[in-house]
């Protein structure tokens, strides 16, 4: 199975958009215009862009904080993301939460909480709902290598497997959970080993190759849609920035970063597209300019958006119960 030109151009556009948006986040952070923390997926964009692009419109994602690409593919705009970062009323959480903590059920996105792997059991519940209602929808969820140490990860994989739920678990294995390297996170070399214990088929994919992620995800999603149950996909990659933008990540050997720099997902994609004859420098440049313009518009939108009033903090703790009439 090969990827079409239009599919690849779509993937490339979102890789570039994600990169540009997060670079702007980094800039705004360093300028002190972002009040809270800033977390990026720099160098890991292929994973989120790849799997999210393989989903259908009514599928659901339950992502984590290295999944900016998935948010964008599902329709969150760069303007909304920056408004969220700036604490503006126009962000998806209206200022209630920050950075990548956002969701919108209309666009099929479940917001994650900082307690990583919490979204995995939630994803199994989403899949359970689809199964109970006999729908052919599926859910994709993602967490980092660190998150796979949590009990919720294991509880979710176990439950999903026992009930053959239509859920695909991704793992962004970027070698570090904050400062903790993989070998102190787990005694196994590949995270995918964990899936074996739950009789879940596992795959390892080059997380810096957007086409591989996309195609692997497509296969797993189809299997889930066909009633084949969950798949676990380990995406090998490298975290190129610190845990968050305040973290210089000096604990990461420079040589390692230099090595992975050569495998940058955008460079990879450009190389491959050239090989396939799908696009060349002019097209790349055109997309680059388009993305830059979009980011400028987004910054303008976010900065001009109003901040919430303090008392808006009191709103929305509970959902209002509509008056239900029993027939």
Q: How many CB atoms are closer than 10 A to CB 290?
A: 14
User: Shortest Cβ distance from residue 287 to another protein (Å)?
Assistant: 31
Q: How many CB atoms are closer than 10 A to CB 300?
A: 12
Site map for another protein, 231-260, x if CB under 8 A? ------------------------------
Q: Are strands 167-173 and 176-177 parallel, antiparallel or unpaired?
A: unpaired
- Of 91, 96, 88, 43, the C-alpha closest to 71 is 91
Ranges assigned E (strand) in the chain? 60-62, 139-144, 167-173, 176-177, 180-181, 202-206, 231-236
Q: Of the candidates 6, 31, 321, 325, which one interacts with another protein according to CB under 8 A?
A: 321
Q: Of the candidates 67, 97, 206, 270, which one interacts with another protein according to CB under 8 A?
A: 97
Residue 96 or 288 with smaller CB distance to another protein: 96
Residue 62 or 266 with smaller CB distance to another protein: 62
Residue 11 or 123 with smaller CB distance to another protein: 123
- Of 137, 72, 82, the C-alpha closest to 109 is 72
Q: Of the candidates 123, 140, 191, 195, which one interacts with another protein according to CB under 8 A?
A: 123
Q: Tell me how far apart the terminal alpha carbons of the chain are, to the nearest angstrom.
A: 53
How far apart (Å, rounded) are the C-alpha atoms in residues 193 and 249? 27
Site for another protein in 125-154 (CB under 8 A): 125-133, 139, 151-152
Residue 14 or 130 with smaller CB distance to another protein: 130
Q: Of the candidates 76, 102, 215, 295, which one interacts with another protein according to CB under 8 A?
A: 102
Q: Of the candidates 32, 255, 324, 325, which one interacts with another protein according to CB under 8 A?
A: 324
How far apart (Å, rounded) are the C-alpha atoms in residues 6 and 101? 31
Q: Of the candidates 10, 33, 89, 96, which one interacts with another protein according to CB under 8 A?
A: 96
Sign for the CA dihedral angle at 48, 256, 183, 245 comes to negative
User: Shortest Cβ distance from residue 11 to another protein (Å)?
Assistant: 27
Residue 69 or 121 with smaller CB distance to another protein: 121
Q: What value, to the nearest 5°, has the Cα angle with vertex 148 and ends 242 and 101?
A: 55
Residue 131 or 274 with smaller CB distance to another protein: 131
User: Shortest Cβ distance from residue 95 to another protein (Å)?
Assistant: 10
Residue 248 or 311 with smaller CB distance to another protein: 311
Burial of 190 (0-12, 13-18, 19+ CB in 10 A): middle
DSSP 227: T
Residue 165 or 205 with smaller CB distance to another protein: 165
Sign for the CA dihedral angle at 74, 62, 159, 213 comes to positive
How far apart (Å, rounded) are the C-alpha atoms in residues 297 and 216? 34
Q: Which residues bind another protein (CB under 8 A)?
A: 60, 62, 92-93, 96-97, 101-105, 110-111, 113-115, 118, 120-133, 139, 151-152, 155-156, 158-159, 162-163, 316-322, 324, 326
């Amino acid at each position: 199975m090969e990827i079409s030109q239009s599919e690849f151009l779509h993937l490339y556009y979102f890789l570039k958009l994600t990169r540009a948006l997060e670079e702007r986040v980094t800039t705004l952070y360093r300028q002190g215009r972002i009040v809270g923390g800033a977390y990026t997926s720099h160098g890991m964009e292929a994973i989120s862009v790849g799997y999210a692009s393989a989903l259908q419109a009514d599928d659901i994602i339950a992502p984590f904080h290295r999944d900016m690409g998935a948010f964008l593919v599902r329709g969150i705009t760069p303007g909304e993301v920056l408004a969220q970062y700036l604490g503006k009323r126009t962000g998806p959480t209206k200022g209630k939460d920050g950075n990548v903590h956002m969701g919108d059920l209309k666009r099929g996105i479940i917001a994650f909480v900082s307690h990583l792997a919490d979204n995995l059991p939630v994803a199994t519940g989403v899949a359970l709902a689809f199964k109970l209602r006999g729908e052919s929808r599926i859910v994709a969820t993602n967490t980092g290598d660190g998150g796979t140490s949590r009990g919720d990860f294991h509880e979710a994989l176990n439950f999903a497997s026992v009930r053959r739920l239509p859920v695909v678990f991704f793992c962004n294995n970027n070698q570090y959970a904050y400062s903790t390297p993989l070998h102190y996170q787990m005694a196994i070399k590949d995270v995918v080993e964990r899936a074996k214990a739950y009789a879940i088929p596992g795959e390892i994919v080059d997380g810096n190759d957007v086409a591989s992620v996309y195609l692997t995800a497509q296969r797993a999603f189809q299997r889930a849609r066909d009633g084949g149950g969950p798949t676990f996909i380990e995406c090998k990659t490298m975290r190129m920035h610190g845990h968050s933008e305040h973290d210089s990540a000096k604990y990461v050997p420079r040589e390692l970063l230099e090595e992975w720099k050569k495998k940058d997902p955008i460079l990879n994609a450009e190389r491959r597209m050239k090989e396939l004859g799908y696009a060349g420098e002019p097209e790349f440049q055109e997309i680059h300019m388009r993305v830059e313009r979009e980011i400028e518009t987004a910054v303008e939108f976010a900065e001009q958006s109003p901040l919430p009033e303090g008392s808006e903090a009191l709103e929305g703790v509970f959902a209002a119960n509509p008056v239900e009439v029993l027939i």
